[in-house]
């Protein structure tokens, strides 16, 4: 714990003002965070390139993301330098320390991973079957159509999630893929609803959730779940996202086979200025444990690690956010962090 803390501190102290990477100690979790300021014109309607927004092309090797490195770079974004190796997971105390800091600022960012999802399975695949099966049963018992679509006695599992926070006025970021909204729910303790989207491509079960931070309405938290099975319609290469299999990206380099997680399609933001809080999937820990090293992380993430001066912001957001962030950072962990802060 202490060691991790120290390491975290070190990285934080050296990090740049706008970036933050931290990891939690929860098994199978690995958190990274960073905020990226992107050029922005305030237009909510435009198609924004996430990568452009992130300025990843300026910092991340194309091989890492398999992205077209083009267009503008973030005006105010300084990407964190990648650590040479995987750093220990921060202890609650560490995070709490961070959390005590000021609220997220436009230039700050953070990444966190969700918990208990590393071993996620493709639950989605069972759905189509379920729906088909129930289709002919609807007349018999409508209430049954949604009952126990999943295996009995088996804890529901999810695909690894990849969440990032975006400072943007746009809720639904254009990431190059086509999404259909299939639900919206009010978020507890937040005046902003959470929207649920599903990739419209046939056979692609990727989902994403979008919600605004209740603390900072300018921050949009987007959580991707699953892996696209097709190229991005907006990108011939279909590789905005990082594919572990063919791009050696973020996670893929070390986990192509064992880690289903893929860095989600990154939205194209070309005109607005955004800040991203990037969250790695819980599977990252698994990756790290299997030889995954930070050098495999996207440059923008890694730089965060060394130039982390906004950890406080991140932590603060995590503690206060009651939406997806809560999901990303287990409540218990947050409590612990909070307690540590009190001390």
Q: Between residue 151 and residue 180, which ones bind DNA under the rule CB under 7 A?
A: 155-156, 178-180
List the one residue from 3, 41, 102, 185 that touches DNA (CB under 7 A). Answer: 185
Beta bridge partners of 40: 272
Share of the chain residues as helix, strand and coil, in percent rounded to the nearest 5: 30, 15, 55
Establish if 188 lies at the interface with DNA (CB under 7 A): yes
CB 172, min distance to DNA, A: 7
Are 37 and 274 a contacting pair, CB within 8 Å? Answer: yes
Cβ-based nearer residue to DNA, 222 or 309: 222
Establish if 342 lies at the interface with DNA (CB under 7 A): no
List the one residue from 18, 19, 108, 195 that touches DNA (CB under 7 A). Answer: 195
Q: Which stretch binds DNA (CB under 7 A): 45-53, 88-96, 100-108, 187-195?
A: 187-195
- Among residues 170, 171, 238, 165, the alpha carbon closest in space to that of 201 is found at 238
CB 179, min distance to DNA, A: 6
Distance, in Å, from the CA atom of 19 to the CA atom of 32, rounded to the nearest integer, reads 10
- Among residues 254, 258, 62, 295, the alpha carbon closest in space to that of 160 is found at 258
Distance, in Å, from the CA atom of 36 to the CA atom of 106, rounded to the nearest integer, reads 8
Q: Between residue 127 and residue 156, which ones bind DNA under the rule CB under 7 A?
A: 127, 131, 134, 143-150, 155-156
Q: Which stretch binds DNA (CB under 7 A): 27-35, 104-112, 185-193, 246-254?
A: 185-193
CB 62, min distance to DNA, A: 30
Helix (H) or strand (E) holding 127: helix 126-135
Strand ranges for the chain from DSSP E = 49, 161-167, 179-186, 193-199, 207-212, 219-225, 267-268, 276-278
List the one residue from 14, 73, 184, 289 that touches DNA (CB under 7 A). Answer: 184
Q: Between residue 203 and residue 222, which ones bind DNA under the rule CB under 7 A?
A: 207, 209
Phi, psi at 243, each rounded to 5°: -95, 125
CB 110, min distance to DNA, A: 19
Q: Which stretch binds DNA (CB under 7 A): 68-76, 262-270, 301-309, 318-326?
A: 318-326
List the one residue from 322, 329, 333, 337 that touches DNA (CB under 7 A). Answer: 322
Burial classification of residue 192, based on how many CB atoms lie within 10 Å of its CB (0-12 exposed, 13-18 middle, 19 or more buried): middle
Distance, in Å, from the CA atom of 116 to the CA atom of 131, rounded to the nearest integer, reads 27
CB 279, min distance to DNA, A: 13
Establish if 230 lies at the interface with DNA (CB under 7 A): no
Establish if 335 lies at the interface with DNA (CB under 7 A): no
Which residues of this protein are in contact with DNA, per CB under 7 A?
Answer: 127, 131, 134, 143-150, 155-156, 178-188, 194-198, 200, 207, 209, 322-324, 326-327
């Amino acid at each position: 714990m202490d060691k991790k803390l120290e390491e975290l501190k070190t990285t934080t102290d050296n990090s740049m003002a706008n970036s933050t990477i931290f990891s939690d100690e929860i098994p199978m979790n690995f958190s990274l965070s960073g905020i990226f300021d992107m050029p922005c014109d305030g237009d909510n309607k435009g198609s924004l390139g996430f990568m452009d927004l992130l300025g990843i092309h300026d910092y991340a090797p194309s091989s890492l993301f398999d992205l077209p490195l083009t267009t503008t770079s973030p005006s105010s974004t300084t990407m964190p330098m990648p650590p040479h190796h995987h750093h220990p997971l921060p202890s609650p105390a560490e995070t709490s320390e961070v959390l005590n800091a000021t609220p997220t600022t436009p230039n700050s960012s953070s990444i966190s991973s969700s918990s208990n999802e590393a071993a996620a399975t493709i639950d989605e695949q069972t759905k189509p079957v379920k729906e088909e099966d129930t289709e002919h049963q609807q007349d018999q018992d409508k209430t049954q159509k949604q009952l126990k679509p999943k295996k009995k006695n088996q804890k529901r599992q999810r695909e690894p999630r990849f969440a990032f926070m975006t400072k943007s006025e746009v809720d639904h970021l254009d990431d190059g893929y086509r999404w259909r909204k299939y639900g919206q729910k009010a978020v507890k303790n937040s005046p902003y609803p959470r929207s649920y989207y599903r990739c419209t491509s046939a056979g692609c079960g990727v989902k994403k959730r979008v919600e605004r931070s209740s603390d900072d309405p300018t921050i949009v938290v987007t959580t991707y779940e699953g892996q696209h099975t097709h190229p991005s319609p907006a990108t011939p290469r279909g590789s905005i996202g990082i594919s572990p299999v063919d791009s050696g990206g973020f996670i893929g380099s070390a986990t192509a086979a064992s880690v289903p997680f893929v860095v989600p399609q990154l939205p194209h933001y070309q005109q607005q200025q955004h800040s991203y809080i990037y969250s790695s999937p819980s599977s990252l820990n698994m990756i790290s444990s299997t030889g995954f090293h930070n050098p495999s992380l996207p440059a923008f993430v890694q730089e965060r690690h060394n130039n982390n001066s906004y950890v406080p912001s991140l932590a603060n957001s995590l503690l206060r956010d009651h939406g997806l962030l809560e999901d990303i950072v287990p409540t218990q962990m947050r409590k612990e962090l909070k307690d540590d802060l009190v001390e």
